[in-house]
């Protein structure tokens, strides 16, 4: 008690200004724009935050622990649910990790199908961002433009995998042959559905057209520019030191993309650019994602033009046991870098599976970036980081 009094005295001596007590504003876990169950405990002075503390863990489902008591094929189902906006992209690095320990490589056609579907997951994830971000800034209409196109992409994903959100399509050593053929169809006839390639080409044209439409509607808007330019600036060194990755890092000016660096999928055979932002503000993060949709369309168009023919599945034993060893495979997911550290002791399931999810690291910069921000900018900045709470808490 006395120490507080002394503390107040010392403060009074330093500052003659009227000191008002900050108000604690609890944003979330139930709030329209915290993307699920993120909770922010902010001390605000008027509308300006003095201190922000994110509280996570409201959606912890224990997938890392759960993986230790599941077999490898079962885990693919679980990890679909980590970042549910791009379920397919979560499967690939895990499957590649297990395949590397087994010494198996998926046939080229399977790899290309994986690549096409991963890029579709990226488009769908970024379109969700294109839908939700203007909504968080108050513009409701782009939501419908973006989600309409996402529906096309999800339909294509569904036609191949049978799932819209959680495809569960990858198998160790390849991809699952087409679902629509049913169990009685001969394996030799199983492939991606007929008409898929033509429909994809058509859908990509439409997605590109929508990108232009969204750019017209949103990027040409003075209010949108005023809300995003120079808001939430994230210098590249700070971003890197917090482990921020993916479009958020590239928006800050680092041209780092695992698709160019790593070889988990045959990206080296494709011609595509990596959009890089300049200032690292909300506007750049929005723009980088829009450009990435366009680049993904480019990749998909190239892939369906030159889809190699081969079986969809490499030879693997009926009961899969992964030899002892450990490996780390990381991939460029829509939200950023996603990695699986897989430790196997030779059993039916992994001994330990450490999941490095993109949103968790991207979100860790929040206390730094939200300091001294205005309450309306909270939403603009949080939205621009594009995290999914399932990806944060796992």
Partner 1 sequence: MSLELTFWWLLAIKLAVAAAVVPVIGMVIGYAEMKLSAHMQSRVGPYFAGGRFGWAQLIADGVKFIQKEDIIPEEADRPVFKWAPALVMLGTMALLVIVPVHPSPRYGIVRDLEVGIFYALAISSVSTIGVLMAGWSSANKYSMIGGLRAAGQLIAYELPLVLATVGVVIQAGTMSMQGIVSAQVAQGWPFVLTQFIGFAIFMIATLAELTRLPFDMPIAESELVMGYVTEYSGFRFLFFFLAEFANMFSMSVIAATLFLGGYGLWGINPETLLSPIILFAKVGVLVFLMIWLRWTLPRLREDQLQTLAWKWLIPIAIANIIVTAVLKVVL
Contact footprint for partner 1 (CB under 8 A): 23, 25-26, 31-33, 47, 134-141, 143-145, 148, 217, 221, 223-224, 226-227, 374-379
Nearest-5° angle of CA 344, CA 334, CA 73? 30
CA nearest 113: which of 56, 171, 27? 171
Whichever of 112 and 224 has its CB closer to partner 1, that residue is: 224
CA nearest 116: which of 301, 362, 285? 301
Whichever of 95 and 373 has its CB closer to partner 1, that residue is: 373
Nearest-5° angle of CA 370, CA 254, CA 214? 70
Whichever of 26 and 77 has its CB closer to partner 1, that residue is: 26
Alpha carbons 208 and 293: distance in angstroms, whole number? 8
Enter the tokens of residue 118. Answer: 């991963």
> What's the closest the beta carbon of residue 371 comes to partner 1, in angstroms?
17
Enter the tokens of residue 235. Answer: 């210098």
> What's the closest the beta carbon of residue 31 comes to partner 1, in angstroms?
7
Exposure of 8 in the CB half-sphere (CA atoms within 13 A) = 8
> What's the closest the beta carbon of residue 39 comes to partner 1, in angstroms?
14
> What's the closest the beta carbon of residue 134 comes to partner 1, in angstroms?
6
Alpha carbons 206 and 149: distance in angstroms, whole number? 7
- In the chain, DSSP finds a helix count (H) and a strand count (E) of 16, 8
Whichever of 194 and 216 has its CB closer to partner 1, that residue is: 216
DSSP character for 172? Answer: T
Burial class (CB in 10 A: 0-12, 13-18, 19+), 314: middle
Three-class SS state of 118 = helix
> What's the closest the beta carbon of residue 48 comes to partner 1, in angstroms?
10
Q: Please provide the size of the chain in residues.
A: 394
Whichever of 148 and 201 has its CB closer to partner 1, that residue is: 148
Residue with tokens 């990381």: 330
Whichever of 227 and 250 has its CB closer to partner 1, that residue is: 227
Whichever of 153 and 329 has its CB closer to partner 1, that residue is: 153
Main-chain phi, psi angles of 110, to 5 degrees: -60, -40
Alpha carbons 33 and 58: distance in angstroms, whole number? 15
* Cβ-based neighbours of 338, under 8 Å, separated by 6 or more: 83, 89, 90, 93, 330, 331, 355, 356, 357, 358
> What's the closest the beta carbon of residue 153 comes to partner 1, in angstroms?
17
Alpha carbons 346 and 72: distance in angstroms, whole number? 11
> What's the closest the beta carbon of residue 98 comes to partner 1, in angstroms?
41
> In what side-by-side order are the strands of the sheet with 48-55?
23-27, 39-45, 48-55
> What's the closest the beta carbon of residue 156 comes to partner 1, in angstroms?
20
Whichever of 8 and 229 has its CB closer to partner 1, that residue is: 229
> What's the closest the beta carbon of residue 243 comes to partner 1, in angstroms?
27
N-terminal to C-terminal alpha carbon distance within the chain? 43
> What's the closest the beta carbon of residue 161 comes to partner 1, in angstroms?
27
Whichever of 191 and 213 has its CB closer to partner 1, that residue is: 213
Whichever of 63 and 145 has its CB closer to partner 1, that residue is: 145
């Amino acid at each position: 008690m006395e120490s507080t009094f002394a503390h107040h005295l010392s403060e009074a001596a330093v500052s003659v200004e009227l000191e008002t007590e900050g108000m604690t504003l609890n944003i979330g876990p139930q709030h329209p724009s915290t993307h699920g169950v993120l909770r922010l405990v902010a001390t605000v002075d008027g509308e300006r935050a003095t201190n922000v503390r994110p509280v996570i863990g409201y959606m912890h489902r224990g997938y890392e622990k759960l993986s230790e008591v599941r077999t490898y094929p079962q885990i693919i189902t679980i990890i679909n649910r980590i970042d549910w906006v791009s379920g397919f992209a979560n499967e690939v690095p895990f499957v590649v990790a297990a395949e590397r320990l087994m010494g198996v490589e998926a046939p080229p056609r399977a790899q290309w199908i994986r690549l096409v579907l991963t890029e579709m997951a990226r488009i769908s994830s970024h379109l969700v961002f294109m839908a939700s971000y203007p909504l968080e800034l108050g513009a409701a209409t782009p939501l419908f433009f973006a989600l309409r196109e996402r529906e096309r992409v999800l339909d294509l994903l569904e036609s191949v995998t049978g799932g819209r959100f959680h495809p569960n399509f990858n198998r160790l050593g390849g991809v699952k042959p087409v679902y629509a053929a049913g169990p009685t169809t001969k394996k030799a006839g199983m492939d991606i559905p007929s008409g898929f390639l033509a429909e994809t080409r058509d859908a990509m044209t439409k997605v590109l057209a929508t990108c232009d439409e969204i750019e017209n509607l949103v990027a040409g808007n003075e209010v949108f520019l005023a809300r995003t330019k120079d808001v939430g600036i994230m210098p590249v060194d700070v971003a890197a030191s917090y482990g921020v990755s993916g479009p958020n890092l590239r928006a800050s000016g680092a041209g780092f993309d695992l698709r160019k660096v790593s070889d988990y999928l045959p990206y080296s055979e494709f011609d595509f650019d990596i959009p890089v932002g300049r200032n690292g503000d909300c506007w750049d993060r929005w723009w980088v994602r829009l450009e990435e949709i366009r680049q993904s369309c480019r990749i998909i168009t190239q892939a369906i033009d030159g889809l190699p023919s081969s079986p969809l599945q490499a030879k693997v034993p009926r009961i899969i046991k992964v030899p002892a060893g450990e490996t780390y495979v990381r991939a460029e997911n829509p939200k950023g870098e996603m990695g699986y550290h897989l430790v196997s002791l030779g059993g039916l399931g992994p001994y330990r599976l450490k999941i490095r999810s993109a949103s968790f690291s991207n979100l860790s910069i929040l206390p730094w970036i939200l300091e001294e921000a205005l309450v309306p900018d909270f939403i603009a900045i949080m939205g621009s980081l594009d995290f999914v709470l399932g990806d944060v808490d796992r």
